[in-house]
């Protein structure tokens, strides 16, 4: 085995969250090493749509994290230029019935009180925002803060900007701990990496890393499919989704749920997302899931019926029982920090997560109260 590498902090996971942790830790003056068993953005990051959403979050700790992340994303977007394909396109949430609209507007009122930009749009205003929407919709809410990045590019460019050393193709096989129980680094299949701090940014596989450190962290996979169309001119301008999406995100059901999230991209294809199923790490292509996505998308945008889907891909969101990520130091293992379990919101929440983790790593008082995100908040018997 080769001579161990040393650094201030090892970040496990070269996805979006790991990249953001690396960036903010490096900017806080730490020597950072990022390790991943696969490539850059090889897990859930490379299988997502790149959502940076505030619209789907109710007031509470996740929304606070989303708003912090949104501010940091706008700063980073200015810095990175077009390289991450950041687009502040805004979101439009559409109600399908007058009753649904009332509920949606109530939800938006509460969000507005928490600092979210949320403007009710009805009739002509809705169709001015999205001219190709199905006729006869009662209205919706426009969220100007919602945005998007190309997630793999964003992760790669953040990693590059961080200046962190990157070890891809290195599988972490153990978390090294001293006699006092504190973290001393990690063991990989290609050598040891020594550091007084380790950040678990392993996403859906974060529970396995926690287990290597001897602690319980219930991260479960929640499978999602995304449909991709042929390239089109920009006909869909915002991130458009039906109001049921929020309910699906918040649901604990294991059964298939699909509420379409439809959006155009800078590259041309329209992305249709958001099936959710708890089926373990099953990579089998599911025709019913994809059919449901297509049905939902063509209901919102009838013109899509004649547009061709060229591919579909799947990913595994890191789902936690209370739908909140694990962010910050683990009181059970000194030196171990977590930054995982963001379910379908990891791209959006990555910057705030990285910022908070960097503050914790350097002993600063975090900008947000980390208590709701404590990694030890789940009882052991839940396993």
Partner 1 sequence: MTDRPHLAVIGAGPAGLAATLAAAARGLRVTLVDSAAEAGGQFYRQPAAELRARRPQALHHQWRVWERLRDDLRGHLRAGTVRHLTDHHVWFVERRSADFVVHALLGPEQEDPATVRADAVLLATGGYEQVLPFPGWTLPGVVTAGGAQAMLKGSLVVPGRAAVVAGTGPLLLPVATALAAAGVDVAALVESAAPRAFVRHLRPLVSQPGKLAEGALYAARSARHRVRPLFRHAVVEAHGTERLEAVTVAALDAEGRVRPGTGRRIACDTLAVSHGMLAHTDLAESLGCRLDGQVVHVDDEQRTDVPGVWAAGEATGIGGSALALVEGRIAGRSAAARLTGTEPDRAEWATALKSRTRLREFAAALDGVYRPPAHWSEQVTDETVVCRCEEVTAGAVRAAVEDLGAGDPRTVKLLTRAGMGWCQGRICAPAVAGLAGCRPTPSRRPFARPVPLGVLARESDHPTEEGPS
Partner 2 sequence: MSSPLDLADARPGPAFTVTLDGREIEALPGQTVAAALWAAGVTSWRTTRGEGRPRGVFCGIGVCFDCLVTVNDRPNRRACLLPLAPGDVIRTQEGTGHDD
**Which pairs from 211-216 meet CB under 8 Å and 24+ separation?**
212/172, 212/173, 212/174, 212/175, 213/175, 213/177, 213/183, 213/330, 213/333, 213/336, 214/175, 214/177, 214/332, 214/333, 215/330, 215/332, 215/333, 215/336, 215/375, 215/376, 216/378, 216/380, 216/382, 216/383
- What whole-number distance in Å separates Cα of residue 318 and Cα of residue 58? 19
Least Å distance, CB 103 to partner 2, is 34
Which residue's CB is nearer to partner 1, number 122 or number 307? 307
Tokens (6 digits) for 176? 């090294």
> 10 Å Cβ neighbour count for 171?
12
209 binds partner 1 (CB under 8 A): no
158 binds partner 1 (CB under 8 A): no
Among 294, 327, 357, 358, binds partner 1 (CB under 8 A): 294
Closest CA to 274 of 244, 302, 231: 244
280 binds partner 1 (CB under 8 A): no
281 binds partner 1 (CB under 8 A): no
CB–CB of 229/367 below 8 Å? Answer: no
Site string for partner 1, 19-58 (x = CB under 8 A): -------------------xxxxx---x------------
CB–CB of 276/222 below 8 Å? Answer: yes
302 binds partner 2 (CB under 8 A): no
Site string for partner 2, 223-262 (x = CB under 8 A): -------xxxxxx---------------------------
311 binds partner 2 (CB under 8 A): no
Site string for partner 1, 225-254 (x = CB under 8 A): --xxxxx-----------------------
Residues that bind partner 1 (CB under 8 A): 14, 38-42, 46, 152-153, 156-157, 159-160, 166, 168-169, 227-231, 267, 269, 272, 284-285, 287, 290-291, 293-295, 297-298, 304-313
């Amino acid at each position: 085995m080769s001579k161990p590498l040393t650094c201030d902090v090892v970040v496990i996971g070269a996805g979006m969250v790991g990249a953001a942790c690396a960036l903010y830790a490096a900017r806080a003056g730490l020597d950072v090493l990022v390790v991943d068993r696969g490539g850059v953005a090889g897990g859930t990051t490379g299988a997502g749509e790149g959502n940076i959403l505030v619209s789907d979050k109710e007031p509470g700790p996740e929304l606070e994290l989303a708003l912090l992340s949104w501010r940091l994303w706008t700063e980073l977007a200015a810095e990175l230029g077009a390289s991450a394909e950041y687009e502040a396109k805004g979101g439009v949430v559409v109600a399908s019935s007058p009753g649904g609209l009332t509920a949606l507007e109530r939800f938006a009122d509460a969000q507005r009180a928490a600092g979210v930009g949320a403007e009710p749009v009805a009739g002509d205003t809705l169709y001015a925002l999205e001219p190709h929407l199905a006729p006869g919709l009662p209205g919706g809410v426009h969220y100007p803060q919602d945005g998007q990045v190309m997630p793999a590019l964003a992760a790669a460019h953040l990693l590059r900007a961080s200046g962190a050393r990157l070890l891809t193709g290195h599988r972490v096989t153990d978390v090294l701990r001293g006699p006092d129980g504190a973290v001393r680094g990690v063991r990989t299949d290609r050598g040891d990496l020594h550091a007084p701090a380790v950040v678990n940014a392993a996403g859906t596989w974060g529970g396995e890393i926690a287990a290597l450190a001897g602690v319980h962290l219930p991260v479960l996979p929640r499978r999602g499919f995304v449909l991709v169309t042929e390239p089109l001119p920009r006909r869909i301008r915002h991130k458009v989704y039906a109001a049921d999406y929020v309910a699906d995100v918040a649901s604990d059901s294991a059964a298939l749920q699909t509420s379409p999230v439809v959006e155009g991209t800078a590259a041309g294809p329209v992305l249709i997302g958001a099936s959710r199923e708890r089926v373990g790490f099953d990579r089998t292509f599911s025709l019913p899931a994809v059919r449901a996505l297509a049905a939902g998308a063509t209901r919102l945008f009838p013109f899509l019926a004649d547009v061709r889907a060229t591919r579909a891909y799947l990913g595994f969101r890191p789902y936690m029982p209370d739908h909140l990520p694990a962010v910050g130091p683990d009181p059970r293992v000194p030196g171990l920090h977590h930054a995982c379990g963001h379910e379908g919101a990891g791209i959006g929440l990555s910057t705030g997560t990285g910022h908070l983790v960097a503050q914790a790593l350097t002993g600063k008082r975090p900008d947000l109260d980390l208590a709701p995100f404590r990694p030890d908040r789940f009882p052991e018997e839940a396993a």
